[in-house]
Structure formats: C-alpha cells, structure tokens
Structure 1
Amino acid sequence: MGAATVILQLICPDRSGLVSDLAGWVAANGGNIRHADHHTDAGAGVFLSRIEWDLAGFGIPRAALPAAAAALAERLKGQAQLHFSDELPRVAIFVSKQSHCLLDLLWRARSGELPMQVPLVVSNHSDLEPLCSDFGVAFAHVPVTADTKSAAEDRMLALLEEHQIELAVLAKYMQVLSGSFLERFPDVINIHHSFLPAFKGAQPYHRAWERGVKLIGATAHYVTEDLDDGPIIEQTIAHVSHRDEVEDLIRRGRDTERLALARALRLHLRRQVMVYRGRTAVFA
C-alpha cells in the first residue's frame, strides 16, 4: 500500500485564489502534495478539489486533522471530507443468485487490488453461501418478500451496524432498497446492467436486443430512492451485432458489469469521486 497519505475533498463556492489557498495551507504545515485535482462548475458557481499529501512529516497531528479540515472548510464556506489511505473501509456486498460480480470483488479484495475489508455478504437466497465460505466471509441469508420487506430491511440494517459496515455494494442484488433503508444507510453503490439512462429497470438486455442496439453497457452508480437514477460513477461498453442473440448480450454484459463495478468501487475507495447537485466529478 505504501506510505500513508491524507486525502482532502472540498466543495465550496468558487472564487479566485482557491487553488493557491489550499496548496498554501498544505505547504504551510509541511505537507508534500502527491496529487491535486480541481474542477470549477461555472454554471453552479461551485469549486471542487481533491488534494492528497504525505502524512509523514505533516505539521498537524493525525488526530487533529479532522478538526483542522473542518475549520478550513468553514473558512471557505464549504464542506470537507478527510480520509487516510491506510484505512480500509468495511464493505458489505449484497447479492441474489448471480455470482460473477461477487466472485470478482472478493478476489480483488483478497489480492489487495481493492483497498477494503469485506466482513459480510448479504443475500436474499442461500445459493452463494459456499462461495463466501471459500473466502472466509460471513454470509447472511435474509429472504425478502413483499410481506416481509420491512422486517428484512430492519434485519439487514442491524447486520450492517453489527459488522460496522461503512459502504454497501449491490453486486447483482435483485431487490430494490426502500427509501427508509437508504435514509438510515445512504452509502450504497449499485451495478445496473445497461448503459444508463437507457433501459432502466428489469431485463435491459432483452429490450436492447429488441431495439437492435450495437453497443451494450453497464453502469455503476450511487443508489437513490429513484430507481436506477443515482449519480453515475463508471460506465463500460461492449460492441454487439445483429448476429448476437439475447444470451450473447447477457454473456458479454457480465464482463462489462464486473469491470464497471470494480472500477467504480476502486474510485470510491480511493476517494476520487465527489457528488454534488445530483451528479459526480470523478478525478481519475
């Protein structure tokens, strides 16, 4: 993983001199900047910044950095988030019966490609429990029906709290989370098997085949109460032709789903995504 770094994400009203102000604040405290990315949304009058610097040798102690970042954001009339690269977020993966995204994420986490811990997998079916056992990950079977949805979500929320989960990933979890669930646990990423905003909802490959599309794709996005309408993090595509049947689209689509979800999760874990005004800025 290398030496620990500090990552500051800041959103504030735009004005002249902000880049110099932020870099000067880091430099004044002895920080060695590794990465600095900025974006101005002129229409919204909003400035976004992601700055990453070495923790070693920085003049403000680690324990005092959150308060210092909050004071900086207050001075700039904005909002800030502070992260440390050596902290591995605890992530829960939600699945149904399909294993391709789950297997890919567990392998990437175990190999160190994705900087996260996966202490829990939640599923509305029991099919993938043996796979999770192979990786030494706790598996929770929480069936969901229309009549039991509220109780099931309460159980899932209790599991997330019990395992101290910071982020949930819907890796082909074929259920819609309620607004009540998202209000209590808003940090959720989903993979949808279409190039959103096209073909929202169920069976997008079937509908894409019926339209004779020449490109299919997958979209990883943050989950909101509006179905398949959350801020987009990553999208991938694959070319198809008139010779392909629905089964071919589904097979090729699995590759795009795995890649889009893994890329999106890596961007999120490395704090390269910032959400504002219902959209994302991705400093990749």
Structure 2
Amino acid sequence: MTWFEDTMVEEEAGAGERSESAGAPTIVLDQRAAFSGSEGVDRDGLRDAAFELIELHRLFAKTEENVVGEVLRESDGFVEWEHYPENDAYDPETGAQYYYHAHPPEERGTSEHGHFHLFMRERGMPAGAVPFPGQELPEGENAILTHLVAISMDPRGLPIGLFTTNRWVTGDIWYPAQDVVKMIDAFAIDVIRPNLAVNRWLTAMVRLFRPQIVSLLEARDHVLRDCLSRAPAATVFEDRRTEVMSYMAISVEDQVRLLCGESASAEPA
C-alpha cells in the first residue's frame, strides 16, 4: 500500500458523516474508464509517446537501468525529502519543471519508491490563464509555477500511479483544470541536462497518459469546489488534512493495450 492509499483509507473510513474537522477524501479513478471516456483523443500523438517510452525502456533494460536510477545518477546518495536533481530540472524555453523525491518509508508504504512532481512556470502558461482566487501570488519574473501532476514510481523504477495534491504540498499557485490541461499539452523538457533519458521519459509519459491526467485534474477541481462550499480558499489550500486530491493506479503496458484496442489487465504491471 502506498502512502496516499493509506491516507485515503483513513479518510474514507468515516466518509458517511464527514465532520467539520475531517479532510477531503481522495477521489480514486480508473485508468481504463478515463481512457474510454476521453473525447477527441489524439491517438497518433499517444502512439508516438508509446513508441518513445518502449524505446527508452528497451535502452534501460540493456544495461539493467531505469528512469529512477537515471535521475539519481549524479547524487551521492538518496535522502528522503531532498529534490533530485538538486534545484530541480527546468526547460527555460517551455517553462516545464520537475523533481523526484521520496517520503519516509513509514509514510510511503512498500509499493512506492518515490515520485516525480511536474510543474509549469509562468513562462509556459497559456495567455488568459487566471489562478483561483484566495492565493497570494509571488512577485518577480517567471516566479509563478503550478503543479501539473505527480508520477508514483515503484522500487523497480516503473510508474504505478498518477495523482494530484493540495496546494500546500508543493507551495504552487493553483489554476483551473481547463488551464492546466493546456499546460499539460505544452509540457516538454527539451534539454540535454540534467539527464536526457529522464527528460524524454517524462515528456513521453505526460503525452501517453494525457486522457488520465485530464480526468485527475477535473476530479481535483471537484474536490476543491466541494471544500470551498464549506471553507474559504485560504483555509482549504493550506488544510494539512487534505493532501492527495485524486489518484489513479496506472500501467504503461495497459495503456498500450488500450491504445491498440485490447482489454487492459486487471492488475497494473
């Protein structure tokens, strides 16, 4: 069980009559349902992303490597909560940014090694994007960034989940899902450093799982609207009892099957 699934169980245990002191429960979505329910899917784009991931995994396998090992390659060790790479990875042209980190074992459970957090800085945001009210915006050029999605990784270095978090978790500025989806479409780490393989892998993951990420962002906003009906935005965004807003177990293998019109397996690979 992962740290967010453990939190989800605790929250849902009393979901029948949620008290004023309870945090919002995590919305759990299904990979296949999100794919089937998506409209206007660019299947050619998804196929290109699938081919890219398959090729990268082939190259990793030749030397018994994986994307997590690559992101940690230049580090002296792996320290919980630290960002990898140090100071994050950033593409100054697209505005895309990411880092990898892990929670302590007692928080993340046995199935997760760590997770990537993906962002978009102000430079890459679409014209006309307006953040949710009730947030204090940072000053300075390109100072605003927003969290797009997180990718949970298992000890083998394979992706096992996608999730969104409350604003306090990453200290970003929240934008409505319709604006964040446009940022997802613009996400690309098109630079050599700090690691070309990791940069290509994350860019392809976002492309391949676009239908699921859209569903997660829409579910995130649903949770937010529900919370805002009971408390002001400043309280909701900083509520430590509400951490993960939406979550989905995923499998690259199952996504390829769905893309090819086959039935996805019951258990994630």
TM-score range, shorter chain: under 0.3
Structure in which a larger fraction of residues adopt helix: 2
Question: Could you say which structure has the greater relative contact order, defined with CA pairs below 8 angstroms and 6 or more residues apart?
Answer: 2
Q: TM-score, normalised by structure 2?
A: 0.25
